[in-house]
Amino acid sequence: MAGFDKRVNSYEEAMAGIESGMTVAAGGFGLCGIPENLIAEIKRLGVKDLTVISNNCGVDGFGLGLLLEDKQISRIYASYVGENALFEQQMLNDEIEVILTPQGTLAEKMRAGGAGIPAFYTATGYGTPIGEGKEVREFNGRPHILEEAFHADFAIIKGWKADRYGNVVYRDTAQNFNPLAATCGRITVVEVEEIVEPGELKPDQIHTPGIYVDRIIQGSFEKRIEKRTVREA
């Protein structure tokens, strides 16, 4: 890593510096657009007591579900979990703390964290268990609750293509939380399907500008499908 060249050559290098007790923000929606190799590297490293910020927590044996096997996650902020038996079991045993967060609020907390906004008001969750204990303020006659921004030690991201400057584009709905998580990490690591030469990505088509990105690695991906639904040709 030198200057603006953010490429690293191994997953070991990509996740260097991660320690037990850290907070990790991850991109992905279900199994779509998840940084599958970076997650696998975290499993290999065996760091524990992680706080994870992610919309979901993978499935048994894949995605963030991998980190449940050795109980590496002690707390998770997510909007929807429990697609996996191991997660349910750890939740029922109080081995994992789950802070359910409305999906739009989760996205905005990531965005705010990356954009230097410490907190924001939203009507989402007012009058529900999510609003309990949170500051309430009325705007235009409607009550809103105060939600605080997320900050992560590491952000782990799955992109489609990137250049060595760390400019990233995503493909189709694999974009989801990735550009947001990318902004709120102290160290942001992006794995992509292809690293291209600078200039190949059109500057006005970049989703995540390189300023947010610290490390880039090219990987190969399984891209597992959670619910394959097809129509007759």
Of residues 50 through 69, those in contact with other proteins by CB under 8 A are 55
Distance between CA atoms of 124 and 107, rounded to whole angstroms? 12
Kindly determine how many residues on this chain lie close enough to bind other proteins according to the rule CB under 8 A: 57
What residues contact residue 220 under an 8 Å CB cut-off, 6+ apart? Answer: 37, 193
Stretch that binds other proteins, among 8-16, 17-25, 77-85, 146-154 (CB under 8 A): 77-85
Hey, how many other C-beta atoms are within 10 angstroms of the C-beta on 153?
17
Q: How many CA atoms lie within 13 A of 37 on its CB side?
A: 19
Q: Which residues contact 23 (CB under 8 A, 6 or more apart)?
A: 50, 51, 52, 53, 151, 152, 153, 154
Residue 102 near other proteins by CB under 8 A: yes
E strand or H helix at 109: helix 103-115
Assess 177 for contact with other proteins (CB under 8 A). Answer: yes
Of 18 and 131, which has the nearer Cβ to other proteins? 131
Stretch 147-166: interaction string toward other proteins, x if CB under 8 A: -------------x------
Closest to 80 in 3D by CA, of 170, 159, 149, 177: 177
Cα dihedral 40, 42, 44, 48 in deg (nearest 10): -140
Q: Minimum distance between the CB of residue 173 and other proteins, rounded to whole angstroms?
A: 5
Q: Is 202 in the site for other proteins (CB under 8 A)?
A: no
Which span sits near other proteins by CB under 8 A: 2-10, 44-52, 107-115, 209-217? Answer: 107-115
Which of 110, 149, 192, 217 binds other proteins (CB under 8 A)? It is 110
Residues in contact with other proteins by CB under 8 A are 29-33, 55, 78-83, 88, 91-92, 100, 102-108, 110-111, 122-130, 160, 171-180, 207, 223-233
